[in-house]
Amino acid sequence: MRNADGRSGVRERDIEKLLFDYPDGCITEHVPDSSSLDGSIIGPNDADVQIEIPDNIKRKVLPFPNLSEIDVVRHFTKFSRMNFGIDVGCYPHGSCTMNNNPEVNEDIAKLEAFANLHPNSPEESQQGSLRMMYELEQYLKVLTGMDDFSDN
């Protein structure tokens, strides 16, 4: 179904402005110089290393809107309310392939060794997971006839 202006299904009141689109950079009230951004990359107390940027390549004006913190929070909260998720209402568990996962897969995924594995954990604690992923890749290559697989 198309609107009178030819757009499909989008009402003008449902289109949210970008933060940069508000006049004078304000949504509810103008807060002069509320930004703490002064154009410096690293402040004198922020790090041991100072970066000197030549003046000829520095921007003279930062393109950030001049908004209060509450305006930014309200803006993104409004966007979050436009999303539908499991915490908002009835939500299916995923695609049909996800619904048909064998229970054994769920049981393995819940094992402490897999569930608590962290990328920064010691290498010796990751070998079982790496072996499982490698063997899965080999099985998938044989089953599908493909030369390679990725589990990313």
Please give the distance of CA 70 from its chain centroid, rounded to a whole number: 21
Q: For the whole model, what pTM was predicted?
A: 0.33
Segments of the chain with pLDDT less than 70: 1-14, 23-50, 62-63, 85-86, 91-101, 151-152
pLDDT in tens, 74-111: 888 888 887 776 677 776 665 555 556 678 878 888 88
Residues 6+ apart with CB under 8 A from 49: 42
Taking a C-beta distance cutoff of 8 angstroms, is the pair 125, 117 a contact? yes
Count CB neighbours of 71 within 10 A. Answer: 20
